[in-house]
Every structure is written in structure tokens, then in C-alpha cells.
Amino acid sequence: MKNRDSRLPLYQRLADEIRDQIASGKFKPGDRIPSENEFIAQYGAAAGTVRQALQELVDEKILERVHGRGTFVKKAFDSTLFRFFRFNQNSNAPPESRMLSRELVTPASYVQRQLKLNDGDKVIHLTRLRLIDGQPALFEEINLKHEGFEHLLDYELSSFEDLLYPMYAEVCDQFIFRAEDTLCVEESTPEIRRLLRIDESLPIVAIERLAFNFGSTPVEWRRSRGRADYFKYRVDIR
Amino acid sequence: MKNRDSRLPLYQRLADEIRDQIASGKFKPGDRIPSENEFIAQYGAAAGTVRQALQELVDEKILERVHGRGTFVKKAFDSTLFRFFRFNQNSNAPPESRMLSRELVTPASYVQRQLKLNDGDKVIHLTRLRLIDGQPALFEEINLKHEGFEHLLDYELSSFEDLLYPMYAEVCDQFIFRAEDTLCVEESTPEIRRLLRIDESLPIVAIERLAFNFGSTPVEWRRSRGRADYFKYRVDIR
DNA sequence: TAGTGGTCTAGACCACTGT
DNA sequence: CAGTGGTCTAGACCACTAG
């Protein structure tokens, strides 16, 4: 174990070690990591101590343990923005996506700050419509770090997957681990009304998302908009 | 330990036991519960097993452990509805409350269902305004189970506390432990505009809250409304 | 059956709190 | 100082999974 502050408890240092190995890509989502006994042998710690380290990462939703099989790096999390809406869904068809545009651009200063970019860094800017039962439901503007996502520029827009995070993983070896969503209510603009096929001047809900990889580096910033009359969200407070 | 399914792990039965004792009122929020050693002596379990039971209740946010002092039943949680808004707050003055009305009424059927009331059960219906810097910010309609909250009928409206949950605890010995908040966006009505002193026809955000005691019994249902242009909410997804 | 994680024991010693 | 929770050890045995 390299350069760990020995004032920290052993189980903490062990957890940090494993977390860093995941962030560095040594273990990827879906991989099985070493068993308890292997960690015990490798670090000379007691079983209870190793378990405590692993439990910490389970609580952080980085790891999943399966009785009899092993301990795995978590693969995906439920990132759907549709959690914030209830649509009059007739079928149970999954949402579709229609990519509208892709450009390599200089980011707005707000986006630059959110993604912690250096001056001159560019972003891949995507726009897409999300549809439920064929009806436009969300309009999305997506900004990705250029570095790490270059391969997205090679694909035809029409061949983009409906779900982007699995596609980032496949195509770019980039794994989204968590996100911060910020919601507010706005007036609809003529453009939004056209895209979402709204007649009246309904308010809309805007969701800004900053998404992070396992190393806690922000890699994607997006703004999604949907009609406010379909907005419905439940939180548990405790 | 009475009537616990012995097929369950010991630490589970112990956790259930303690949880039930809290729900029954044997231990109240703020109380210190027995120490590890006392549980070890009482149940003949090993230290690690007792710790596992206690850790489970800490994860559920029922207990708090303080090194050197003991293990305590959690006192309060951050229940403020202002989490959903950002007001142009000049001072850092805490929100005030202005009680508008109180009635003992037959609940609407929706409220009756939410609070799991029997036919004929009445509810205490309160309305109040919440103010920030003296400006109306939220209008609230609150429905409380009659049973358990009778003492609220004895108080002058003007002597109600700004924060209701501490008042429920003091006056009625009723402790709110968690809540489910459901948000949506609505058109404003003339009455809401009058109460919140809104000129234009702004949309509003409505928050419906169902609040539970330690025994997971719903005891309060309320609907709160505020201007949608002040709505702003952040969630972490993982 | 071998290997994994889950439960449980019975200690030791440390770190923090209040008196 | 006594009493609390926090860290850590070195085992045992059980329950689940896969080959």
C-alpha cells in the first residue's frame, strides 16, 4: 500500500487503495475484484478489517457483493431523467432517442467552469430529442469533454445508442458513476415549443446534470427540458 | 427477545428488537440507549454482533453514535420545505410562520386514504403562511390525525411555534421521523396569488408531504405551494 | 467440491468523553 | 478515572454459487 497516511485506520487505507485502483481503471465496472482471502493474504490484515473496507465501498455504491460469487465493481446506476416525469404512457416501450446535431465547439464559460476545462479546451456538443411512445418528451443539450470522448466523433448520428452512458462505456471506455441534477422551472421558448410540439405557452422544467466518472472528474454537462405539466417527483426525507 | 424468528441472523433480531422499543416509545428521540456492553450482557451476544445490529440502525438514521458518550435515538432531521426553493434572501433570518386557520374536520377521501384513517375519523386541518424576510413564500394546508394530536386544539393559533415538528414533540409527544415529498407544477389560482401576493399568472410548485412517526405510521399529510420561479432543487444520483 | 461472502465468537487495545 | 464507542485480531462455522 503506497503512501497512505498511517494515522488513518487500516480499513480506511485499504478502502482508499481499492477506490483508487478502480478510479485508475485497474478494475472496471463489472469486474470481479480479489476475494476477502486474497486481500487478507496481500495486506496481512484480519478478515474483519478487510470486510470493513469493502463494506465502506458498498455503502458508497462503488462495489456490489454477491454471496458465493465474489465482489464486483458496480456496473450501472439508474440515471434516467424520466424519473422526474410521469408521461401518459400507453405502452411500456422504452424511451427512444433522436440525435439532432453534433459539433466540436468552444464551450460557454459556464460549461467550461462546470467541466473544469482549461482555456482553449473544446467540448463535443450534442442535441437530441427523447421520445415516449413516439411523442417528443425531452429536449437535451449535451456537452462532453473532448478528451476521452473523441471516438464519438467517428459515429454516424443515426447509429447512436438510445442510452448514452452504456455507449460512452463501449465506445470511449468512459464510465459514468454518479451525477448531480439541478431542477428549475422556466418559461417555454418558441424553439422548445416547436421541438416538444407544445401549442400553448406552458412552463417547462429544466434539469441540469453534471456527471462524474469513478475518479470524481466531471465529464458531461447537459441541460434537459420537458413540459412542466408532466413533471412529478418523489423524494424520501429522513 | 420475544417472538423473533430464529431463522433470522442474531444481529437482525437484535436490531428489530431495538427498533421496536423505539417505536413503542420506550426510548425517545434524544435518549441514550444501553451501551454495547449492556447489550452484550443482556443478550449474551458477542461485541461484533451487537455492533452490527447498532450499525444497521445508524444506517437507517434511527440512531447516532458518539465516541466516548454513547448511542442516542436521533432527535430531528432536516425537514424544511425551503430545500426546494432559493429565495432572494437578504438577511439570514429564519422563516416565520403565520397560522391562518384551524378546524376539526372530516377529511377528504384522498387524505383519509393517505393517513390510513377509519371511516368517521376526523383530522385537524391547519392552514398557515410561511414567510421569508416578511414576504409570503409558501402556503400550507396541513392535516393531522386527530388521535394523538388533540392537544393542538388547546392552543391559541398565535402561540403556535414556527417549526411544527418540534411543537408536535413537545405538545403531543409525537415524533416525526421521516417524510415522503411529492412535487409537481400547477397553474396558480386567484386565491394562491392573493395569499402569496403574486400579480402575474405565474405557475406554482406544489409539494405534497406524507410524514411518518418512528412506527412507520403516517400521521401528517400536507400540501404546500410556492412560486415556481423560485423553485430550485438539487439531487445526487448514484 | 472448492471458493466465495455472511454470521458469530472472544478477546485486546486505542481514542474520546465527562467527572 | 471509569465508561463509552472505534479499531483490529484470529479464528470457527454456515450458506450460497459454480464447475
Could you report the per-residue pLDDT of A64-84, keeping only the tens digit for each?
A: 999 999 999 999 999 999 999
Q: CB-side exposure of B181: number of CA atoms within 13 Å?
A: 20
Sign of the CA dihedral with A35 first, then A36, A37, and A41 last: positive
Which residue of chain A is at minimal alpha-carbon distance from B205? A185
Q: Are residues A57 and A96 in the same domain?
A: no
Q: What is the pLDDT along chain A (238 residues), one digit of tens a residue?
A: 767 777 899 999 999 999 999 999 999 999 999 999 999 999 999 999 999 999 999 999 999 999 999 999 999 999 999 999 998 777 778 899 999 999 999 999 999 999 999 999 999 999 999 999 999 999 999 999 999 999 999 999 999 999 999 999 999 999 999 999 999 999 999 999 999 999 888 999 999 999 999 999 999 999 999 999 999 999 999 9
Query: How many domains are contained in chain A?
Result: 2
Q: What is the pLDDT along chain B (238 residues), one digit of tens a residue?
A: 767 777 899 999 999 999 999 999 999 999 999 999 999 999 999 999 999 999 999 999 999 999 999 999 999 999 999 999 998 777 778 899 999 999 999 999 999 999 999 999 999 999 999 999 999 999 999 999 999 999 999 999 999 999 999 999 999 999 999 999 999 999 999 999 999 999 888 999 999 999 999 999 999 999 999 999 999 999 999 9
Q: Are residues A63 and A178 in the same domain?
A: no
Domain for residue B238, yes or no? no
Q: Are residues A89 and A136 in the same domain?
A: yes
Q: Are residues B159 and B57 in the same domain?
A: no
Domain for residue A5, yes or no? no
Q: Are residues A200 and A152 in the same domain?
A: yes
User: Which residues of chain A neighbour B234 with C-beta distances below 8 Å?
Assistant: 180-183
Do the chains contact at B184 and A79, CB–CB below 8 Å?
no
Domain that holds residue A23: 10-73
Host H or E run for residue B210: strand B203-213
| CB pairs A-B closer than 8 Å | 80
Question: Of B73, B93, B117, which residue is a domain's last?
Answer: B73
Q: What's the first-to-final CA gap in chain B, in angstroms?
A: 37
Nucleotide nearest to A9 (CA to C1'): D7
Q: Are residues B201 and B94 in the same domain?
A: yes
A35 touches strand C (CB under 7 A): yes
Instruction: Read off the amino acid at residue A6.
Output: S
Query: What pLDDT is recorded for position A219?
Result: 98
Q: Are residues A99 and A194 in the same domain?
A: yes
- Burial state string for B42-58 with b = 16 or more CB within 10 A and e = fewer than 16: ebebeeebbbbbbebbe
Domain for residue A238, yes or no? no
Q: Which residues of A touch B (CB under 8 A)?
A: 48, 59, 61, 77-79, 177-185, 203, 205, 228-229, 231-238
Question: Of A23, A49, A73, which residue is a domain's last?
Answer: A73
Using a 7 Å cut-off to protein CB atoms, list the covered nucleotides of chain D: 3-12, 15-18
Sign of the CA dihedral with B13 first, then A52, A173, and A121 last: positive
CATH number at residue A56: 1.10.10.10
Largest CA-CA distance found in chain A, in angstroms, rounded: 68
Question: Of B73, B92, B127, which residue is a domain's last?
Answer: B73
In this complex, the residue of B59, B177, B232 whose CB is nearest that of residue A182 is B232
Domain for residue A237, yes or no? no
Query: What pLDDT is recorded for position B190?
Result: 96
Query: What pLDDT is recorded for position A201?
Result: 86
Are B223 and B141 spatial neighbours (Cβ–Cβ below 8 Å)?
yes
Q: Which residues contact B209 (CB under 8 A, 6 or more apart)?
A: B81, B179, B180, B181, B182, B220, B221, B222, B223, B224
Domain for residue B127, yes or no? yes
Domain for residue A2, yes or no? no
Do the chains contact at A228 and B203, CB–CB below 8 Å?
yes
Query: What pLDDT is recorded for position B88?
Result: 74
Q: Are residues B53 and B97 in the same domain?
A: no
Question: Smallest Cα–Cα separation from A83: which of B183, B110, B207, B227?
Answer: B183
Q: Are residues A180 and A218 in the same domain?
A: yes
Are B174 and B149 spatial neighbours (Cβ–Cβ below 8 Å)?
yes
